[in-house]
């Protein structure tokens, strides 16, 4: 297995970890019954979400560094970030989320913490764009699987938003 | 009644965590990087790229071609020295009238050089799905080949610029180098998947596989077509017998990645450059080190002049250096590019040296 292939597998694992961080929030709204399952209790704890977020960032770094080195990217050249905007933005978001994934940040930032962590939903689209763009023309089974994963995640997220919107409008109408 | 916090207090609350976290992460990164050679190498590159921005101006009259929208990774010149082909990160291949620029550069009149648009003879947009990493021109037929990070090799007609055929999935990873065999019947390709493939150029059939123990960054074939030389990430230069497929010599050439290999036109000298900031000249028949040139930067690409007397290097600090092969003496240092010079090539008639850079420019230097 080549180093780029290993880097790509790390990228896939980063995506899986990232998608898992979104699932508790989605399931709570879309399939609320699942949250009471004893077997999944740990999964729905905020600590698990934090750990998955940090793991996602670490794996993403493991994905980005070898590729940047093989492809001879220059870190101080602004064009690197223009040409690889999706990858750089995705990594920056994951970094911001990982760094603030702790109670101290949560307590210090209060409402701003929530605002900051809304970036996780932007990352969903940015990372999908990154996978499609970076692998364009040389798709393999893993690429297809990752795109499917991201599209399913986006679909579930939109469903969650639709349900929340319906509930909100229902409450307003009741008032 | 609510009390409003002063602005400075708000600032403190909001940004205290940023400051502390940055500090912690910074400390972690620095301590990790000090023990990690890969990260050290990365930092060194960062410093080099910063230094590149400071350098200015050039020493002699030269031509400049602008037209690429991305970093230029590959150049090749047709056997009659008329056409220059360039490719890079913008996925396009461009064709330039090199002879016209060289003629203008060599003329004694002070008239201005033709503009890039006047020199541009054609372009193939989206030649590959990702960056074009290597170009090679068939020495016997009007055909050229391109390789890309999309793992494909494409063969094109040099006259009408039509696609002749494509080798899909030529490698399982990025292709870094391609070279035609001297008889023009075969094409060699190598990349990060540790393999050199020999293809039948006309049909795209795989003829032979040369397996290495490390990703390959550079490739060259001796003029008699007997030896294949590959520069590897582990610092080795491997030499295979092209006919038998036997690995003859794994030279422990460099301490770090071999970035380029070149073979002199008489086939007697192999030149290699590495991330250890050296250029080494080896005697092909004895595999003995003939000359070691220490440079202050990494030579990304080496090229021998057609008479074999000069060797040029395109360097990470944006310079182009020309050395005398006989004694390894530095003859010229040309500074024109603001960033890494990824590729250099002498025109087959020996009248010009061409360089392609990360700053999206191609520079053309007349050789007296």
Which chain A residue has the Cα nearest residue B17?
A105
Between β-strands B319-324 and B310-315, what pairing exists: parallel, antiparallel or unpaired? antiparallel
Mean pLDDT of chain A: 88
Q: Note the pLDDT of residue A76.
A: 78
Interatomic CA distance for residues B111 and A94, integer angstroms? 55
Which chain B residue has the Cα nearest residue A6?
B173
Give yes or no for residue A114 having a pLDDT over 90: no
Q: How many CA atoms lie within 13 A of B44 on its CB side?
A: 15
Which chain A residue has the Cα nearest residue B131?
A71
Model's pTM, two decimal places? 0.80
Q: What average pLDDT score do residues A11-39 get?
A: 89
Interatomic CA distance for residues B178 and B181, integer angstroms? 10
Q: What average pLDDT score do residues A75-82 get?
A: 81
Q: Note the pLDDT of residue B50.
A: 43
Which chain B residue has the Cα nearest residue A71?
B174
Between the CA atoms of B274, B129, A154 and A114, what dihedral angle is there, to the nearest 10 degrees?
40
Give yes or no for residue A70 having a pLDDT over 90: no
B317 in reach of chain A (CB within 8 A): no
Query: Do residue A74 and residue B49 have CB atoms under 8 angstroms apart?
Result: yes
Q: Note the pLDDT of residue B145.
A: 97
Q: Note the pLDDT of residue B282.
A: 93
Task: Between A151 and B107, name the one with better pLDDT.
Answer: A151
Q: Would you report the helix, strand and coil content of chain A in percent, each value rounded to 5?
A: 85, 0, 15
Q: In what helix (H) or strand (E) does residue A47 lie, and over which residues does it extend?
A: helix A46-70
B224 C-beta neighbours (distance < 10 Å), count: 10
A139 in reach of chain B (CB within 8 A): no
Q: Is the dihedral of CA B181, B267, B314, B311 positive or negative?
A: negative
A79 in reach of chain B (CB within 8 A): yes
Q: Which chain A residues have a beta carbon less than 8 Å from that of B50? A: 76
Query: Do residue A100 and residue B21 have CB atoms under 8 angstroms apart?
Result: yes
From first to last of its 368 residues, chain B has per-residue pLDDT tens of 445 555 555 555 555 556 556 655 665 565 455 445 455 445 545 544 443 333 333 447 788 999 999 899 999 999 999 999 999 999 999 999 999 999 888 887 666 788 888 889 999 999 998 899 999 999 999 999 999 988 999 999 999 999 999 999 899 889 999 999 999 999 999 999 999 999 999 999 999 999 999 999 999 999 999 999 999 999 999 999 999 999 998 888 899 999 999 999 999 999 999 999 999 999 988 778 888 888 889 999 999 999 999 999 999 999 999 999 998 899 999 998 989 999 999 999 999 999 999 999 999 999 87
Q: Note the pLDDT of residue B52.
A: 36
B150 in reach of chain A (CB within 8 A): yes
> Tokens for A48?
């698990």
Interatomic CA distance for residues B194 and B186, integer angstroms? 19
Tens digits of residue pLDDT in A41-69: 778 888 888 899 999 999 999 999 988 88
Integer angstrom CA distances of residue B280 from B190, B258, B358? 21, 11, 24
Selection from B184, B197, B260, B176 nearest residue B225 by Cα: B184
Q: SS3 of A169, please?
A: helix
Give yes or no for residue A137 having a pLDDT over 80: no
**Residues ≥6 apart with Cβ < 8 Å to B309:** B324, B325, B326
Out of B17, B150, B194, whose CB is closest to A138? B150
């Amino acid at each position: 297995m080549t180093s780029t292939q290993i880097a790509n597998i790390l990228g896939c694992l980063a995506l899986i970890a990232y998608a898992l961080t979104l699932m508790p929030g989605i399931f709570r709204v879309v399939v609320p019954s699942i949250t009471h399952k004893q077997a999944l209790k740990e999964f729905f704890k905020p600590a698990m979400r934090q750990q998955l977020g940090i793991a996602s960032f670490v794996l993403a770094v493991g994905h980005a560094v070898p590729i940047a080195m093989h492809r001879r990217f220059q870190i101080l050249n602004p064009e690197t970030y223009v040409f690889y905007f999706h990858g750089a933005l995705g990594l920056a978001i994951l970094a911001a989320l990982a760094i603030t994934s702790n109670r101290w940040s949560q307590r210090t930032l209060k409402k701003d913490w929530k605002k900051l962590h809304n970036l996780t939903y932007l990352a969903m689209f940015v990372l999908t764009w990154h996978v499609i763009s970076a692998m364009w023309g040389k798709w393999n089974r893993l690429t297809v699987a990752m795109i499917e994963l991201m599209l399913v995640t986006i679909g579930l997220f939109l469903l969650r938003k639709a349900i929340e919107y319906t509930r909100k409008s229902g409450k307003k109408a009741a008032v | 009644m609510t009390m409003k916090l002063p602005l400075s207090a708000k600032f403190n609350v909001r940004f205290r965590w940023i400051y502390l976290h940055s500090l912690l992460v910074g400390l972690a990164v620095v301590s990790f990087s000090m023990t990690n050679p890969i990260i050290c190498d990365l930092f060194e590159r960062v410093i080099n790229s910063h230094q590149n921005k400071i350098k200015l101006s050039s020493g002699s009259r030269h031509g400049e071609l602008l037209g690429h929208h991305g970093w230029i990774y590959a150049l090749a010149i047709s056997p009659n020295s008329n056409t220059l082909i360039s490719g890079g990160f913008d996925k396009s291949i461009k064709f330039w009238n090199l002879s016209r620029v060289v003629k203008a550069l060599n003329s004694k009149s002070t008239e201005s050089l033709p503009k890039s648009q006047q020199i541009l003879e054609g372009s193939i947009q989206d030649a590959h799905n990702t960056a074009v990493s290597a170009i090679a021109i068939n020495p016997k037929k009007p055909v050229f080949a391109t390789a890309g990070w999309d793992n494909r090799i494409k063969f094109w007609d040099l006259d009408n610029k039509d696609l002749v055929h494509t080798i899909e999935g030529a490698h399982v990873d990025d292709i870094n180098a391609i070279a035609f065999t001297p008889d023009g019947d075969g094409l060699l390709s190598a990349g990060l998947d540790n393999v050199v493939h020999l293809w039948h150029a006309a049909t795209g059939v795989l003829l032979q596989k040369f397996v290495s123990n490390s990703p390959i960054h550079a490739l060259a074939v001796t003029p008699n077509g007997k030896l294949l030389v590959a520069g590897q990430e582990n610092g080795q230069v491997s030499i295979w017998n092209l006919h038998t497929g036997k690995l003859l010599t794994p030279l422990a050439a460099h301490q770090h990645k071999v970035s380029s290999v070149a073979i002199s036109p008489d086939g007697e000298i192999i030149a290699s450059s590495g991330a250890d900031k050296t250029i080494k000249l080896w005697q092909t028949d004895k595999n003995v080190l003939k000359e070691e040139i220490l440079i202050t930067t990494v030579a990304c690409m080496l090229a021998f002049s057609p008479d074999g007397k000069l060797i040029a290097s395109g360097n990470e600090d944006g310079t182009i250096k020309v050395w005398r092969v006989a004694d390894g003496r530095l003859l010229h240092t040309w500074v024109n590019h603001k960033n890494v010079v990824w590729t250099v090539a002498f025109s087959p008639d020996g009248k010009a040296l061409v360089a392609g850079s990360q700053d999206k420019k191609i520079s053309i230097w007349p050789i007296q």
